[in-house]
Structure 1
């Protein structure tokens, strides 16, 4: 593994918490034995350009601060660069950090970076788009695709939850098609998780998925009625054995997926694709700073 001598830090600091955390992270990184070129980015549209400029300086380590969507949206840029990824989990769910076993507080995450254990991991792919942890079909992308702009900012969490409840009333189970031609399987489902990591929405729902397994896992929650989805979520949250009921999993290096009707796909929280797609694994494609095994 490449020795860490220089690092860049890019933090999504559009919120007050992000700005506070940036200062806290910079203070914590003063103890690292190498210089850190730090950037706080207040406008998300500038994140990609900032990361590109940071990578152009050829750092040994790129530390990304943000939620799952931020990290997943920027990890594409690292592919092909000889640079390790450091993770500062600043989101709500932080599923990618959870899948790696990284502490969710800034001092703990910086300690993982400081100890310098590099782990080679896979990335998931939806067609040609790399992502870090989990993609999904079902209610969550329906909410993300339809929620009015700035609703949460204007009405707070209650407004967002109200919109989610409205979308649940409108949500309907759908048909998942795995494979092509005569061998394709058709299933009636209420949710589909396309997982590189075991966590989804901050809860460990796809326990058979691992960031270094070399396979993508497609987990389908079976059902003709949407209450199956509520049952699966609650059972998963409380680690009840019934979370495995009415669940079907497919795994492999590449799986062709379609739905009836055609549906949006959220990739680590952002709607970035629509069915049909090919879900793939890019095995061992990047290095990440992770807790020692």
Structure 2
């Protein structure tokens, strides 16, 4: 294949030496006889506009639009690519890189470039919250608060999984309130109280925390997770269960899979609610509608089940029920 690459990379986020990415991409493309065009993003507020520019240039050339960054950057570029007719590539540069990992794309730059330059596109279903897509997860309640605390800690202490864990523990120790929600699922409406509603579209993440909806995600559905109202001690215990891949077995955790879920807040006069999609936190008008996007994302990735997912499945099969 000789189609050119249009690479959007966010200098304001991610890990590693950000100045290495451009020269590495150009060198790999030159060695493969492929043209490339770089779209650096200097400020976070420019990312969406730059991604749209990359898609507009890629469309007549039948090029591949590539997102280089963490899951938030990848989400923003994917939003511009979805339904455009362009194929999508990823160079993971974040802390967790769940989207890349679940599709077998290496975290190392050389390995990710090799996939990008040699593999074909596979259609990947993505989640949607109202008109905004999510590749990994979307949530409301406690989880967006955890993300905000984590980002503040990363700004102060750097990007690492240990920093993310410490930030999460601090948020849980500070306490939290439950949301009063009216949810409509499968044609039935019910009222619930929960500190957080988490909707997953990433099978690897579900497997690693021990929620058994990964096969449903593979089949094109979404996974929902809600917690019962609990105290700080129990919440910390649930965090530990998730870290050891046993969250789904906890009595305080409700998990289910679905095609469509509608959420309305029961607080008087509530018109907006804080939500998060793929690590980015913002306010969204109610009601919230979760579903699978009608268009698939043509992702450049290796064929078959990713090695990390195969290992997670083998480990889960070898362990006794919690």
User: TM (normalized to structure 2)?
Assistant: 0.76
Matched, 1:271 2:281: yes
Change (3 A) 1:201 1:218: closer
Matches of 1:104 and 1:163, distance apart in 2 = 24
Bigger drift between 258-267 and 189-198 goes to 258-267
> Structure 2 matches for 1:220-259, cutoff 5 A?
220-240=226-246, 243-246=248-251, 247-259=253-265
Q: Counterpart of 1:17?
A: 17
From 265, 290, 303, the equivalent of 1:292 is 303
Structure 1 residues 129-161: Cα deviation after superposition (integer angstroms, max 9, x where no partner): 12222011232312456x699775356577995
Do 1:123 and 1:131's aligned partners in 2 also have CA atoms closer than 8 Å?
yes
Q: What do you get for the CA RMSD once the two structures are aligned?
A: 3.3
Query: C-alpha distance in 2, partners of 1:140/1:90?
Result: 22
11-20 or 133-142, which deviates more: 11-20
Residues in 2 aligned to 1:62 and 1:268: alpha-carbon distance in whole angstroms: 19
The residue that corresponds to 1:127 in the other structure is 130
Q: Residue 202 and residue 10 in structure 1: after superposition, are their counterparts in 2 closer, same or farther (change >3 A)?
A: farther
1:162–1:237: structure 2 CA closer, same or farther, 3 Å change rule? closer
Q: Quote how far apart the aligned CAs of 1:94 are.
A: 1.1
> Structure 1 residue 217 and structure 2 residue 223: aligned?
yes
Q: Is the 8 A contact 1:190 1:225 kept in 2?
A: no
Equivalent in the alignment of 2:314? none
Q: Whole-Å Cα distance in 2 between the matches of residues 182 and 5 of structure 1?
A: 46
CA distance in 2, matches of 1:197, 1:253: 15
What is the 5 A alignment of 1:59-70? 59-70=62-73
Aligned equivalent of 1:99, options 90, 102, 112: 102
Structure ranking higher in helix proportion: 2
Q: Which of 278, 281, 292 is the aligned partner of 2:292?
A: 281
Q: Is the contact between residue 264 and residue 271 of structure 1 (CA under 8 Å) also seen in structure 2?
A: yes
User: How far apart are 1:38 and its partner, in Å?
Assistant: 1.8
Q: How many residues align?
A: 289
Gaps of at least 5 residues in structure 1 are none
Matches within 5 A, 1:185-204: 185-200=190-205, 204=209
1:177 alignment partner, one of 182, 194, 209:
182
1:193 deviation in Å?
A: 1.4
What is residue 83 of structure 1 aligned with on the other side?
A: 86
Q: CA deviation at 1:288?
A: 0.2
SS in 1 for 2:52: helix
Please state how far the C-alpha of 1:69 moved relative to its aligned partner. Answer: 0.9
Determine the C-alpha separation between the residues in 2 that align with 1:168 and 1:201: 24
2:131, 2:257 → 1: CA distance? 18
In 2, the alpha carbon distance for the partners of 1:8 and 1:21 equals 13
Shift of 1:164: 6.9
5+ residue gaps, structure 2, are: 305-322
Q: 1:239 to 1:143 in 2, by over 3 A?
A: closer
